[in-house]
Amino acid sequence: MTLDLFDLSGRRALVTGSGQGIGLALAKGLAGAGAAIVLNGRSRDKLEAAVTDLRAGGATVDLLPFDVTDHEAARAAIDGFEAQTGAIDILVNNAGMQHRAPLQDFPAEAFERLLQTNIASVFHVGQACARHMIGRGAGKIVNIASVQTALARPGIAPYTATKGAVGNLTKGMATDWAQHGLQVNALAPGYFETPLNQALVDDPEFSAWLAKRTPAGRWGRVEELVGACVFLCSAASSFVNGTTLYVDGGITASL
């Protein structure tokens, strides 16, 4: 049956930055499609609350806390998990951060943090997982990009640079690894109500601008990213590689 193409039963998915927001929503969505989940993040309290939440819904959940910006830590954690627990079939590189400031005043240390969290982590964790996936001849990697992969807005130029890099690193990963049976794609959310965007959600002027700028006329809900993510993680996307799928209410399609 066609729906079987989207079934993730028997698969295990690692979602970085999954203690809250988009990462947690995607973890829940993948669990709903049948995948076992491996949660990762910086806040132990948030991760433990997420584990409780997912297990209450019947999901199989493991916790794998490590610093995604540390190459050796990421590799050690993933190698250890693969050896002790089992294969990671799906990776969702979701960990990310934001910092807003006029570019002429943007702190250099904030720029470096953005580079490490938003793009270096995609390389570190992606490579660590891909080494095992290549050996098995199969694997799915979904990197979380953004509308800022294609667009810019005042005050977030370094964030825009990192998300543009995510889009191009995704193409490079697919180009290197498709021959080994991996599909690597990016999922690019528009403006969604998340803790990362809370300052904007709480700003009536920005929300009014966003409603006018977005053809759908509203903020996105994190649950609306689930279908696209399941598609990219499932057999339904077996010949989809190196693409960026925008889920943005039409904002990148319109002027």
Is 254 within the bounds of a domain? no
Is 161 within the bounds of a domain? yes
The alpha-helical segments, DSSP class H, found in 60-216 are: 71-84, 108-114, 121-136, 157-177, 198-201, 204-213
Digitized pLDDT (tens) for each residue of the chain, 255 residues in all:
899 999 999 999 999 999 999 999 999 999 999 999 999 998 888 999 999 999 999 999 999 999 999 999 999 999 999 999 999 999 999 999 999 999 999 999 999 999 999 999 999 999 999 999 999 999 999 999 999 999 999 999 999 999 999 999 999 999 999 999 999 999 999 999 988 788 889 999 999 999 999 999 999 999 999 999 999 999 999 999 999 999 999 999 998
Q: Is 8 exposed, middle or buried (0-12, 13-18, 19+ CB in 10 A)?
A: buried
Total structural domains in the chain? 1
Tokens linked to 32? 């709903």
Is 86 within the bounds of a domain? yes
Range of the domain at 130: 2-247
Q: What pLDDT score was predicted for residue 197?
A: 85
Q: List C-alpha distances in Å: 140 to 17, 89, 118, 170, 249.
A: 17, 6, 19, 12, 25
β pairing state of 12-15 and 182-189: unpaired
Is 219 within the bounds of a domain? yes
Q: List C-alpha distances in Å: 255 to 110, 151, 153, 164.
A: 31, 11, 14, 20
Is 97 within the bounds of a domain? yes
Is 253 within the bounds of a domain? no
- How would you list the strands of the sheet with 244-247, edge to edge? 61-63, 36-39, 12-15, 90-93, 139-144, 182-189, 244-247
Which positions are catalytic?
Answer: 159
Is 252 within the bounds of a domain? no
Q: What pLDDT score was predicted for residue 255?
A: 86
Is 224 within the bounds of a domain? yes
At 230, which helix (H) or strand (E)?
Answer: helix 226-233
The alpha-helical segments, DSSP class H, found in 6-156 are: 21-32, 44-56, 71-84, 108-114, 121-136
CATH code of 63's domain: 3.40.50.720
Beta bridge partners of 93: 143
